[in-house]
Structure 1
Amino acid sequence: MGVSTLLLTSGCGQLLVFHPAGPVGQSELQLIWLQIALTAVVIIPVLILLAIIVIRYRDRPGSKAVYRPDWSENRTLEIIWWVIPIIIVGILGTVTAKKTFALTQPPKNPSNPTVVQPLTIEVTSMDWKWLFQYPNQQIATVNYCVIPTNRPVQFMLTSNGPMNAFWVPQLGGMEYTMPGMIMRLWLQADKPGIYYGHGGNFTGQGFAQMQFNVQAESEQQFNAWVASIANNSPQLTQGEYDKMAQPSILGQMSFSSFPPNAFENVVMSEGGKYMKHDQVMMNSISSK
C-alpha cells in the first residue's frame, strides 16, 4: 500500500497510522517514514531542477544559450538518474520484504522477552458488520472486541459475504477477509485504550457502518470481561447467526456462546478448492 493511501484513509480524519500503539504498528510506521525519506530524495531534487531548467532555459530575448541541435545524450546524467532509482528500489524492497516476513510471526516485545501465549480471535466480515469469536473462551462479540495488553493476538480472518479488509490503523496494517479462505494477522497493543477499526474494502450500501473498536485492557481486566460476558450475555443460536449473516446494520453486541464450528463452517461452505489450505490453518489454530 502506498504512503498516499495510508495518509488519506487513516480513519476518523486523523493520521492514526502515525500514532502506533503496538510493535506491529511501530514497525510499519518505520517503513512509512523510510518511504517518505526515499521519496523525498527523488522529489526534492527534481523540483529544484525543474525550477532551474524553467528559469535558465526559457525562451527569452537576447538569450545567449548555446544552440546545440545535434546534442543527444549525457552519460553522466544518465548514470545518475538510473543508479539512484535502482539503489532506492533495492533499499525499499529489501527492508519491506524483511519487515513483511517478520510480521507473519507473533510480535516480540524487546522490553519483555518472556514468551506469552497468544490470544486467538476468529473474525468474520459480513454485510455490514464484524463478528468476533473467541474459540478458547467460547464467547463472541459484534462490532467490537477486547484484547489484553502486551499479549500477541492472532486474528484469523474470513468472510461470510463479499471480500473485505480488516484494519486497525494504530495497531497494524490491513489484511483481507475472503470467502473460503482464512487469513492470519498478528497484532498487539502495548497500552490500554480503544482503537478504531474499519473495513478497508467497499462492500455496498452499508459499508460506512462497518466500523468496530478494539479495546485493550490489562490481562486481569480482560479475564474479568470474559467472565462477565460468559455469565451475563445471551447465547448466539444458529438461527440468530443465520439472520445476522443477512445484509443489515447492527450495533455492538455480546454473546456467551456461539454455534459449534461456526467459523469453520463458513470457510468450508465456499467449496473444496481451498480445503487443503484451510485445513492447515485450522490445524494451526487448534495447536495454539
Structure 2
Amino acid sequence: MPSSKLLRGLVLAPALLLLSGCNAVLMSPSGDIALQQRNLIIWSVILMLLIIIPVMVLTAVFAWKYRASNTEADYDPEWDHSTLLELIIWACPLFIIIALGALTWVSTHKLDPYRPLDRITAGQAVTAEHEPLVVEVVALDWKWLFLYPEQGIATVNELAAPVDRPIRFKITASTVMNSFFIPALAGQIYAMPGMETTLHAVINKEGVYEGFSGNYSGEGFSWMRFSFRGVSEGEFDRWVEQARTSQDGQLTREAYLKLEQPSAREPIRHFASVTPGLYDAIVNRCVEPNRMCMRDIMAIDEQGGMGIPGLDNITSLDPTLLARLGIAETYRHHYVGGVCNAADYAFGEVLPNTERL
C-alpha cells in the first residue's frame, strides 16, 4: 500500500502542473491604469486581512485554550462585559471601513475611464507632447472592428498602439451589449448599441496581449478575441503603412453592412481606408443609406415629436442591395427611414404602410 505522503504527492502533482500554466495578467499588468487597479486590489485585500487573519488566529487560540480538558483555564460564568474588548471589537472594523471607503472614493475618481490620463507612469506626467491616439471600437457579432480616424485605416481583430502614448478609446456596439477588455491594459468597459462609452489608457511595455469580450453575447462569444500590440512609434508607423496597402480596400458603408453579419473565428483583416463618418453612423444606427439617424429622431422627440404623422415611417434595405452584399437570406431588419408628412394622411386616417423613404 502506498504511504500517505505518496498519495498526497500524487494528488498535488496534477494541481501544481495546472497552476504552472496560469498567466496572472491581472496581477502583472503592462499598462499604468491596470497597474493602479492591481494595486487597489492588493490594498483592499490587505485591509480586509487585518480583520480576517486575527479572527481566524484567535478562533484557534480560544478553541485550544478553553477546551474541556484544560482545567487550568479561567471559568467565569458571570462575565458579561469588557470595555476594552468592546472598544477593540468596534474600533478595528470601523477603521477598516473608513480606510476602504477613502481608498474606494479616491480610486473611483482617479481611475474613472472617462477621465483623461494625467500620467504615463508613476514618475512621468502627461505633457502637451503626449497627443492621445484615438481608436474607435465597434463590437460586432462575433468580432471586433477598430477604426483609426487620424490614420484613416480600420482593422478587424487586431489593435496596435505605441508604447507610452495615451490612448482614447471610443466604444460602441452593432447589436447586443458586449464588454471591451484588455486585462494587461485597463479594466473592462461595456460596449452598447446606440451609445458611446470611453476609456483612457496607456501601454508601457512592448508585447502582444490578449483582448476579448467579457460579456456573453451569443454562440460565437468564445471566439470573440483579438490581439493588442504594444509597439514602438516607428513600428506603429510601419504597421499603419502596411494596413494602407491592404488588399481589403476601403471600408465603405456597404462593406460594413456585410462585415457586421454574424460570423465567428474571423481572421485579422486590414482596410486601407474608411468612408468618412462611418463610426458616427454606427453609433447613430444609420449606416443603411435609407435609414433615419438616431440623433435626428431624438431631435424630433425633443421638439415634442411628430404625433400621428410620424407613425408611418418604417423601411428596410432594398432587396437588390441585400443581394449585392450577399446577405439576402439573413434576417431582414426594419427601421425608421424618415418622417412622413401630413400629406400622407387623409382626414386623420393613416394610409396603408409601404416600404418607402
2:318 paired residue number: none
RMSD: 2.7
Q: Deviations over 1:170-190 (max 9, x none)?
A: 111111112222111111111
Provide the rounded CA distance (Å) in 1 between the counterparts of 2:40 and 2:297: 32
The yes-or-no answer on 1:106 pairing with 2:120 is: no
Q: What displacement does 1:71 show?
A: 5.4
2:279 paired residue number: 263
Moved more, 87-96 or 29-38: 87-96
2:92 paired residue number: 84
Structure 2: give runs of 5+ residues left out of the alignment.
1-20, 286-292, 300-357
Which structure has more relative contact order (CA 8 Å, sep 6+)? It is 1
Query: Closer, same or farther in 2 for the Cα pair 1:197/1:64, shift >3 Å?
Result: same
2:290 paired residue number: none
Structure 1: give runs of 5+ residues left out of the alignment.
1-11, 277-288
Point out 4+ residue stretches in structure 1 off by more than 6 angstroms. 61-64, 273-276
Alignment check: 8 A CA contact 2:177 2:193 kept: yes
Alignment check: 8 A CA contact 2:27 2:38 kept: yes
Provide the rounded CA distance (Å) in 1 between the counterparts of 2:93 and 2:59: 18
The residue identity in structure 1 corresponding to 2:109 is F
Q: What displacement does 1:239 show?
A: 2.6
Correspondence list, 1:159-238, <5 A: 159-234=173-248, 235-238=250-253
Q: What displacement does 1:54 show?
A: 2.7
1:20 paired residue number: 29
Correspondence list, 1:123-138, <5 A: 123-138=137-152
Which of these residues, 45, 61, 67, is aligned with residue 52 of structure 1?
A: 61
Q: TM-score, normalized by length of structure 1?
A: 0.81
Query: Closer, same or farther in 2 for the Cα pair 1:162/1:53, shift >3 Å?
Result: farther
User: What secondary structure is seen at the aligned counterpart in 2 of 1:28?
Assistant: helix
Query: Closer, same or farther in 2 for the Cα pair 1:160/1:59, shift >3 Å?
Result: farther
Q: What displacement does 1:136 show?
A: 1.3
The yes-or-no answer on 1:244 pairing with 2:259 is: yes
Alignment check: 8 A CA contact 1:107 1:188 kept: no
2:50 paired residue number: 41
Alignment check: 8 A CA contact 1:151 1:189 kept: yes
Query: Closer, same or farther in 2 for the Cα pair 1:244/1:50, shift >3 Å?
Result: farther
Alignment check: 8 A CA contact 1:198 1:212 kept: yes
Query: Closer, same or farther in 2 for the Cα pair 1:125/1:113, shift >3 Å?
Result: closer
2:270 paired residue number: 254
Provide the rounded CA distance (Å) in 2 between the counterparts of 1:100 and 1:92: 12
Q: Deviations over 1:77-119 (max 9, x none)?
A: 3432332222222222222332332232225133365431000
Aligned residues, how many? Answer: 264
User: What secondary structure is seen at the aligned counterpart in 2 of 1:232?
Assistant: coil
Query: Closer, same or farther in 2 for the Cα pair 1:273/1:97, shift >3 Å?
Result: farther
The yes-or-no answer on 1:94 pairing with 2:102 is: yes
Q: What displacement does 1:221 show?
A: 1.4
Alignment check: 8 A CA contact 1:165 1:200 kept: yes
User: What secondary structure is seen at the aligned counterpart in 2 of 1:251?
Assistant: coil
Provide the rounded CA distance (Å) in 2 between the counterparts of 1:251 and 1:275: 37
Query: Closer, same or farther in 2 for the Cα pair 1:74/1:126, shift >3 Å?
Result: farther
Query: Closer, same or farther in 2 for the Cα pair 1:273/1:101, shift >3 Å?
Result: farther
The residue identity in structure 2 corresponding to 1:242 is L
Provide the rounded CA distance (Å) in 2 between the counterparts of 1:86 and 1:36: 16
Q: What displacement does 1:150 show?
A: 1.0
Alignment check: 8 A CA contact 1:180 1:274 kept: no
Provide the rounded CA distance (Å) in 1 between the counterparts of 2:153 and 2:146: 9
Considering only CA atoms, is the larger Rg found in Structure 1 or Structure 2?
2
The yes-or-no answer on 1:121 pairing with 2:121 is: no
Alignment check: 8 A CA contact 1:181 1:274 kept: no
Aligned-residue identity in percent: 34
Q: TM-score, normalized by length of structure 2?
A: 0.67
The residue identity in structure 1 corresponding to 2:225 is Q
Q: What displacement does 1:41 show?
A: 0.9
Moved more, 54-63 or 182-191: 54-63
2:162 paired residue number: 148
